Amino acid sequence: MSDRDRLRDLPSVDRLATAVARAELQARRAELLDGAGANAAETVDLVARARARLRPKLRRVLNATGVVVHTNLGRAPLAAEAQAAVAQIAAGYSNLELDLGSGERGSRHDHVEELLRELTGAQAAIAVNNCAAAVLLAVAALAAGRDTIVSRGQLIEIGGGFRIPEILDVAGTRLVEVGTTNRTRRADYEAALAAGGEQVGAILRAHPSNFRTVGFVEDVEIEVLCDLGVPVVDDVGSGVLTDDVELLAGEPPVRRSVRAGVALTAFSGDKLLGGPQAGLLVGTREAIEACRRHPLARAVRIDKLSLAALEATLALHRDPGAARRALPVLAMLEADDATLRRRADELAAATGGTVVASTARVGGGALPLLELHGPAVAIDPGHAGADALAAALRAGDPAVAGRIHDGRLLLDPRTLTDDEAREVVRAVRAVVSP
Instruction: For 172-238, give the DSSP string.
Output: T-EEEEES-SSB--HHHHHHHHHHHGGGEEEEEEE--TT----SS-B---HHHHHTTSS-EEEEEES
What's the pLDDT at 11? 53
pTM for this entry: 0.88
Where do the domains of the chain lie, and which CATH numbers do they carry?
3-54 (no CATH), 61-75+330-431 (3.90.1150.180), 80-325 (3.40.640.10)
What's the pLDDT at 210? 72
Q: Which strand (E) or helix (H) includes residue 345?
A: helix 337-351
- The one-character DSSP state at 414 is G
User: Where does 72-199 show beta strands of DSSP type E?
Assistant: 124-128, 147-151, 157-158, 162-163, 174-178
What's the pLDDT at 18? 75
62-79 in b/e form (b: 16+ CB < 10 A) is bbbbbbbbbeebbbbbbb
Peptide bond into 398 cis (omega under 30): yes
162-198 pLDDT, tens digit each: 789 999 999 999 999 999 999 999 999 999 999 999 9
Amino acid at 261: G
What's the pLDDT at 1? 57
- The one-character DSSP state at 382 is G
CB hemisphere CA count around 108 (13 angstroms)? 18
CA distance 433 to 426: 12
Q: Are 252 and 237 in contact (CB under 8 A)?
A: yes
What's the farthest any 2 CA atoms get from each other in the chain?
Answer: 75
Tell me which residues of the chain have a pLDDT lower than 70. Answer: 1-17, 36-43, 46-48, 50-51, 53-54, 159-160, 433-434
Taking only Cα atoms into account, the Rg of the chain, rounded to an integer number of angstroms, comes to 25
Q: Are 361 and 73 in contact (CB under 8 A)?
A: no
CA distance 417 to 421: 6
CA distance 413 to 340: 6
Query: In this structure, are strands 372-379 and 408-411 parallel, antiparallel, or unpaired?
Result: antiparallel
Residues whose CB is less than 8 angstroms from the CB of residue 29 and which lie 6 or more positions away in sequence, other chains included:
none
Q: Which residues pair with 356 in a beta bridge?
A: 376
What's the pLDDT at 384? 82
